[in-house]
Amino acid sequence: MTLIARNRPFRLLLSSAALANLGDGIGALAFPWLATLITREPLLIALVAFATRLPWFLLAIPAGVLTDRHDRRQLMLRADAFRALLAVGAVALAIGLKDGTAPGGELAAILSLSALAFLLGCAEVVRDNAAQTVLPSIVAPADLERANGQIWSVENIAGSFIGPPLAGLLIALALPVPFGAEAIGFALAAWFVWAIALPPRARPARRHPLTEAAEAWRWMRAHPVVLRLAIMLGILNAFTLMALTVLVLVSQDRLGLGPAAYGILLTVEAAGAVTGGLLGPALVARLGPDRSVRLALALFPLPWLVIAVSDQPAMVGIALFVGMGAGVVWNLVTVSYRQRLIPDALLGRVNSLYRFFGWGMMPVGALAGGWVVSLAEEPFGRDMALRLPYVAAALGTAALALYGWRRLRLSVLG
């Protein structure tokens, strides 16, 4: 009997993850596309991506303390319900955009969109940390790779395979429609979380938040492999967001894509994640954690190099497919390791500290992508300016791969 069939709490968690990520996937296209309708300034467009990722820098550690202190199911439920309300606010903002003109001017509209993106990101930090932390209490340790692979596959099918092209089609109907669909996805995700029954867990006595956070830091310092992985992930994510933030402009200005075609491009990227989620556990079992992570590191620079030089949508899609598949293989090894190694009483805090290092650099990368294009556009022209973030990402991830091949040893994971 499959894990989904025999484990009802996991089945509900998987369903909730699918719906929440469907909402995320719709927003992943709709928010930047709405930003490009408000303004063509790369730095302002990057501000929306920056606001989306900034909560991972500001709130990752406090979210970990919350996750270990409070009912993890309730945190997920409230976060999804809050995101549903915020998506309704995005509907109102989209309705207010008339013929490409924003009430109050483009800066006011971008700031409003960024505020919504920031609040959605805050809820996502709490929700995702609680969801990843709750998984070991739902499935057996031997099932963690399989459970993580299935969750990532479903999340990417919903969030990137279905969500973006659906958003492109919905935008063609009317600009506010995708945000309404996003709100429905989050609301249904909250309902599935409400139906989950979790085993009782002993919660630690409350102490000062800094004391609790310091315990997570001491644990991570005592486990240098985890700390090294977190820092490497931060560098990797910074370059990734540098590239992905300007992908919407690349798609419009270099590839000549409309919203529906851009959604299909993101769907091809998601297919890489789905493939990695389905085939990754067998690959890791065959190659082992060391060689699996080294393979992922070797593949990371290739997509950005291809996008830097190619104006063919098919080549860009293949590049994104490869990069996303490599990212999922990396996650399968590193996340399953953490879930096994970290004690439950510290799991939320250490996970959040890991994400502080690993995801906290994403807003920096997002803002850097827009800044590089904006700075380079006048001396080099728009076309060359849109290539430079990908050159930087290719060089940066290549250097990271060389470091990882020389210094990273994960044989302990076996």
- Please tell me the distance from the alpha carbon of residue 361 to that of residue 353, in angstroms, as a whole number: 13
Residue range 266-275, pLDDT digits in tens? 888 878 877 8
Total length of the chain: 414
pLDDT at residue 149 greater than cutoff 80: no
Amino acid 112 reads: S
Ramachandran category for residue 65: left, alpha or beta (phi over 0 → left; psi -120 to 50 → alpha): alpha
Is the pLDDT score of 263 beyond 60? yes
Which pLDDT does position 102 carry in this prediction? Answer: 57
Q: How far is CA 223 from CA 150, 241, 300, 342, in A?
A: 28, 28, 25, 10
pLDDT at res. 206:
62
More confident residue, 113 or 6: 113
Domains of the chain: 7-194+209-413 (1.20.1250.20)
Which pLDDT tens digit goes with each residue over 265-312? 888 887 887 788 778 888 888 888 888 889 999 999 999 999 999 999
Task: Give pTM, 2 decimals.
Answer: 0.72
Question: Residue 344 pLDDT > 80, yes or no?
Answer: no
In this prediction, residue 191 carries a pLDDT of: 94
Note the pLDDT of residue 401.
Answer: 92
Q: Is residue 90 exposed (0-12), middle (13-18) or buried (19+ Cβ within 10 Å)?
A: buried
pLDDT at 98: 57
pLDDT at 1: 59
Give the mean model confidence (pLDDT) for residues 330-351. 79
In this predicted structure, the answer to whether residue 101 has a pLDDT above a threshold of 60 is: no
**Is the pLDDT score of 166 beyond 50?**
yes
Q: In the block, which residue shows the tokens 């430079």?
A: 388
Query: pLDDT per residue over 227-240, tens digit each?
Result: 888 999 999 999 99
- pLDDT score of 64 more than 70: yes
85: tokens are: 């309300």
Euclidean distance between CA atoms 151 and 155, whole angstroms: 6
CA distances from 66 to 130, 252, 349, 351 (A): 9, 41, 8, 12
pLDDT of 414: 35
Contact 147/10 with Cβ under 8 angstroms? yes
pLDDT digits (tens, 9 = 90+) for 19-56: 998 998 898 888 888 888 888 888 888 888 889 888 88
What percentage of the chain exceeds 90 in pLDDT? 28
